[in-house]
Structure 1
């Protein structure tokens, strides 16, 4: 069964029309039709389509597993438990081969030095850098592809949780502070990774897991010195 067949099967099982599915996903009806006829082979909204049709995104994208796998995960919409991130399998891939239906290209945040050699930096998304990422993995984390990005951690402030050089997955759709969760920050042109905590009087606390060497920092959220939240870190991959 090809992607077009799985999409049609899922849509009919959900008893929605192509027009309705287009409304649910933000696509147009012509795109849905082209996907079901095979004129268009894939879409970056596979996860969202699977979510709306209440089927497994892994099954929809690749045909692997059962159509109903992990549906409970979509229906519950529960946030990850605990303060620690979930360590997942390696899912960033390299190469120039065409994207598979279960892959998406994600932008990479990086520090870029200003021109004229001033030594100052700014945090830029997708400054010519992209990496492949697994759509099913985004589905597991509940992250929409359009909200996902990657970055590389620097320094030892988050050891032993996140090591220097670790690849990070960032959900730009989650910029509100959830106490104890880890976020990627643009702090005056520096890309930083910290746990955040809300404090009274519109203040925010930045905490490092390596607290012996990196004490907590407190900022007023409206201060010019306060960091800008890029998004919540939902995945990381450490390298020894």
Structure 2
């Protein structure tokens, strides 16, 4: 019976890709790849294998078209991905070094592509009591679209990912005011010097976080001249309702003219 392993082997053979080269790209033992040929590709490796070969993951899984020969990018070129990105950034020879692609407009009625997922958007919301208190809550009906490939590259499970809007200048100019950030809510264990989103008694904050002895934390801003370090003991973390929302894996900004001059 033809299965995903048979289709995988056919693609490798058609493109003359050595099994050892492909298994090395996936970080697995060549013998394990041989087992896949017989039993099928494990689901946890399916998208990675499809990305490496630039084939449709659904086709690789169950044979649903499109066929793999519709892909124009060869595997060997994908192995040189970092070299290609370097040329795009810095240019080579007479090349301008910049590649611009058109934006593709969409709205809420545009269906999701096969490799897209919608992530909920969170922000500080003023509570109805009118006393100025806020809470970090999901904004009903507001979502952002991401490709599964982007999330996989960051090692983020789509079911654990959310987005939020940043205010304030504490992380400028690394992350400027109004930026949208991506948060992995499954990554709340602190790794020193990584960037995390926090709920500080209803205020959404984004900081470099460091562990301190006794269960305390240090919060550091990129704009440290205006926003000095803050340190909290374990007891103060509880008293001030400080919660790690998750690791910040992505940010993006659409800025107005002159906005950067405000954060230099």
Aligned to 1:227: 242
Cα offset, 1:109, TM superposition: 1.3
Aligned to 1:60: 56
Cα offset, 1:97, TM superposition: 0.8
Paired residue for 1:163, among 150, 156, 176? 176
**Partner Cα separation in structure 1 for residue 144 and residue 252 of structure 2:** 14
Sort the Cα spacing of 1:225 and 1:65 in 2 relative to 1 into closer, same or farther, 3 A.
Answer: farther
Aligned to 2:122: 109
Aligned to 2:47: 50
Paired residue for 2:166, among 150, 153, 165? 153
Structure 2 counterpart SS, 1:117: coil
More helix by share: 2
Structure 1 counterpart SS, 2:226: coil
Query: Over residues 112-161 of structure 1, what are the superposed CA-to-partner deviations in whole Å (9 max), with x where a residue is unaligned?
Result: 22123232111113533211112211122111111211111111000110
**Partner Cα separation in structure 1 for residue 104 and residue 246 of structure 2:** 19
Structure 2 counterpart SS, 1:110: strand
Cα offset, 1:8, TM superposition: 8.2
Does the Cα contact within 8 Å between 2:5 and 2:37 map onto a contact in 1?
A: no
Cα RMSD over matched residues? 3.5
Aligned to 1:82: none
Aligned length: 193
Query: Over residues 47-96 of structure 1, what are the superposed CA-to-partner deviations in whole Å (9 max), with x where a residue is unaligned?
Result: x7414xx44176435957457957x9xxxxxxxxxxxxxxxx9x997412
TM-score, normalization by structure 1:
0.67
**Partner Cα separation in structure 1 for residue 72 and residue 138 of structure 2:** 33
Computing the radius of gyration from Cα coordinates, the structure with the larger value is 2
Which runs of 5 or more residues in structure 1 are unaligned? 26-47, 73-88
Structure 1 counterpart SS, 2:193: coil
Does the Cα contact within 8 Å between 2:121 and 2:162 map onto a contact in 1?
A: yes
Q: Does 1:192 align with 2:187?
A: no
Which runs of 5 or more residues in structure 2 are unaligned? 11-32, 58-65, 82-100, 256-264
Aligned to 1:36: none
Sort the Cα spacing of 1:181 and 1:129 in 2 relative to 1 into closer, same or farther, 3 A.
Answer: same
Does the Cα contact within 8 Å between 1:163 and 1:239 map onto a contact in 2?
A: no
